[in-house]
Structure 1
């Protein structure tokens, strides 16, 4: 019986997260209420508050859990979260490894793009959320720096900023690919992005 209750709790929480993401996408963060999310999940405001103290807490869970899951990021005592495959890819420093990692990551863009966009919108409304997406980005930057450190490439003072540049490129392309008219195909975009990372990190 206890296992069934736990399974039901996990399911309800997932329903609320999914409904929150859908409502934020449809209405925007500012216009979405707790009642909107609860109704979309087929539950009540009371149930929502049993899982999340606010819609901001739900937004934090989307970033901490679903964003990290989509990118295979795991909890890390050093950085908050770590993508071991990113660290290993940067440490390997080959075009083949970087190409494979970028292509895997690009496949996750449809899942991560809305969470990042909503997180940035939410930060304007709720200052307590302002650090969330940027903190998550800093964790990814640290992975790049850690990979460069493992490989002992570049001077120590360069490694973090190399991560800043690499992740800024990736984030900008991820957020705008499909909306912008850059006059290149998807395959050309991937090749250019990989070439840029290789030039920057290798």
Structure 2
């Protein structure tokens, strides 16, 4: 049995409908994030999100099962951005001071943009974050080590341990600095972090005992 081809106009309408759906979904996420930051997660209601976005409750629930589902998707987006940052490290042309310093400066910009929502997520999704911590670690290590040939001077175990150490140092240091709890200037922070990364990446492997 032959089927009539879908008219081009129908395909275009479907594509337009999907695009509108993605924009609506993103609008709800953006509005919810703004409200969570301004009012706090607990004080924000679905009605608040609906009214601020100019959409209906029906539209909201067509996209999200609950307010908590919105928060979880915001968390996924933040963790995806984190993994992307480490994947970009694997694409660096070399492990020179200039390359690593430029990458760290770029990562710090991303931390600065996401700091407030990260703090909301850490306070509100504490149990979820703990349960997913190991998965996040493995994912970020794999992303950072995306160019395995550069880690060849280290044993597999040592390479993974150093990768995790660098990630934990970076996230802790940048969170402290962005939150204003580490009183040093940006240039000094990047310079020190660059030196730490260079030393950790270049140090020769020692026999494991």
Query: Do they superpose with TM above 0.5?
Result: yes
Give yes or no for the alignment of 1:103 onto 2:105.
yes
Residue in structure 1 matched with residue 29 of structure 2 by the alignment = 17
Alignment correspondent of 2:87 = 84
Structure 2: give runs of 5+ residues left out of the alignment: 1-12, 203-209
Alignment of 1:44-63 (within 5 A): 44-63=56-75
State the TM-score, normalized to the length of structure 1.
Answer: 0.78
Contact 1:20 1:58 in 2 (8 A): yes
Query: How many equivalent residue pairs?
Result: 189
Distance 1:136 1:72, change over 3 A: closer
Q: C-alpha displacement at 1:42, in angstroms?
A: 1.7
In 2, Cα distance between equivalents of 1:136 and 1:56: 20
Counterpart for residue 206 of structure 2: none
Partner of 1:79: none
- Aligned residue in 1 for 2:174: 174
Matched, 1:160 2:160: yes
1:34, 1:55 within 8 Å by CA — same for their partners in 2?
yes
SS of alignment partner, residue 193 of structure 1: helix
Aligned positions of 1:119-130 closer than 5 A: 119-124=121-126, 127-128=127-128, 130=130
In structure 1, runs of 5+ residues without a counterpart are 74-81
Give the TM-score normalised by structure 2: 0.76
Following superposition, the deviation at residue 128 of structure 1 comes to: 4.6
Q: Provide the residue aligned with 1:140 in structure 2.
A: 140
Query: Following TM superposition, by how much is the alpha carbon of 1:137 offset from its aligned partner in structure 2, in angstroms?
Result: 4.8
Separation in 2, partners of 1:43, 1:83? 36
Q: Which residue of 2 aligns with 1:77?
A: none
Give the SS at the match of 1:92: coil
Quick check: 1:16–1:37 contact (8 Å CA) kept in 2? yes
Q: How far, CA to CA, are the matches of 1:29 and 1:195 in structure 2? A: 39
Give me the whole-angstrom Cα distance separating, in 1, the residues matched to 2:136 and 2:130. Answer: 11
Once the two structures are superposed, the pairs formed by residues 66-85 of structure 1 within 5 Å of their partners are 68=80, 70=81, 73=84, 83-85=86-88
Question: Cα–Cα, structure 1 residues 45 and 133, in superposed 2: closer, same or farther, change >3 Å?
Answer: farther
In structure 1, distance between residues paired with 2:133 and 2:41: 15
